[in-house]
Structure 1
Amino acid sequence: MTTEVNWVLEQLDSVVDDLAANYTNRNGNPVALKRVNRDDSSVYEGSESLDFNEPMHKRKDDLKSGIFVGATLADRAEDPVGTKYNLKIETVVSLTVEGMTSHGGLHGHVDPDGENGVPFIEAVRQIRRTLLASDTRAYPDLGVPNTSYHDLIPTSNDPQSAEYRDFYRWQGDFALRGYESLP
């Protein structure tokens, strides 16, 4: 687990709470957003694990329990800066959001109308807005020794829901940029 991945997932606490408070599935239960550290497959909300490498159609049972947002360390670039042993760094955390429809006899948590689940685009918007809020993106303090990040920026936005019939999927990358002071 990396500190950066955990930090991104922890920023989404308010989205988990907001979706549960404002949307219900077809059974009247709160819509669940479950955060997954894709580097070790651990799920924040619950004790189970989830492998994002499995095709979505093989994970229907998991997707009946909620919408999943997974984060993984996608890249880390380091460039020397100055005459000392310091580095300019960019750490990229990749997010994947997946859900299943509540229509057609399926029991997912996504409903385009918002009646039997949350509209998928609304869940993605809340995730992006939370990460790009001014108090999150400017000088994020991750607690990484000898490292100071000065911003968080989106570097890609890839909606993929059109590729699936009963499933929803979105991917995006977020870069933490800053400096590392070496001894």
Structure 2
Amino acid sequence: MCAIEIEPILSTPRLRLRRPRRADAARIAEYCGDYDVARMTSRIPHPYGIEDANAFLDRQDLKDADREATFAIEHPDEGFMGVVSLFENPEGRSEIGYWLGRPHWGRGYATEAADRTLVWAHETWGRRFVVAGHASDNPASGQVLCKVGFLYTGEVKLQPSAARKGETPVRMMVWLA
């Protein structure tokens, strides 16, 4: 499979998913600087500042376009709201992760973005199997994953959380196309 040369821009009824850009740095820093956002992820440290946001944006150019994709989640009226990513986990499996800034929680945006990203991964990369996990103390993320077709595997793993500065129980899930 050859590398994808075009920059995908995906649309949903309310959102646009596009490549993160420098203009997003301030919002990324603001949203990821919220401990309640960062602690529900594995890789976002706390505290989180503009330098961290710029480092995140720098890493986007280093991704293997055949196996990794990161989309900024954007609303036409509210602008940048968060990120949804597909990446290869340490076991070599495709995994999805996402986060939204606190002002955008509870309105179905994460579900809409994750669903569109999974469809894109299946159509573009031929992915038929994607894994995900959510912190055991974050049932809202589990609801998002269930709504887009993920099923619980019954496995709970202790995984690192940069913001929590330690391991946290993560409930594992799988999506089959």
TM-score normalised according to structure 2 size: 0.36
Bigger radius of gyration: 1
TM-score by length of 1: 0.35
